[in-house]
Amino acid sequence: MPRANRRRRDLDARPLAASSEVATEPYAGRSWYVRRLSGASATRAYRCPGCHQEIRVGTAHVVVWPAEGTGGLEERRHWHARCWGTRHATPPGHGTRR
């Protein structure tokens, strides 16, 4: 087999999750893709599911979405990086206000 062909196939076979920007992490019994956004790319405000506070425009944070199932875009969630890091201490549906 010519060398050029082999190189191209290797590129195509590289999974998306292997990209340096996206990690896979567990939450609520599922696997989630996690992408870290810089403040410069945070152009909208979001509600963080961890603390129920606003993530303000220009704040570096993470966006997560299910690695399995149909959801994808509709199930995307934006979290404060700190809240995502401590998510196991605040189960989904917890509902307690501070």
Q: What residues line the site for Zn ion (CB under 5 A)?
A: 48, 50-51, 80, 83
Q: How far is the CB of 30 from Zn ion (least distance, A)?
A: 19
Q: Which is nearer to Zn ion, 48 or 62 (CB)?
A: 48
What is the strand order of the sheet 61-66 is part of? 22-27, 30-37, 61-66, 77-80
Please give the DSSP secondary-structure letter assigned to residue 90. Answer: S
Q: From residue 6, how far is each of 16, 71, 91 by CA, in Å?
A: 19, 34, 46
Q: How far is the CB of 80 from Zn ion (least distance, A)?
A: 3
Q: Which is nearer to Zn ion, 51 or 60 (CB)?
A: 51
Q: Which is nearer to Zn ion, 6 or 98 (CB)?
A: 98
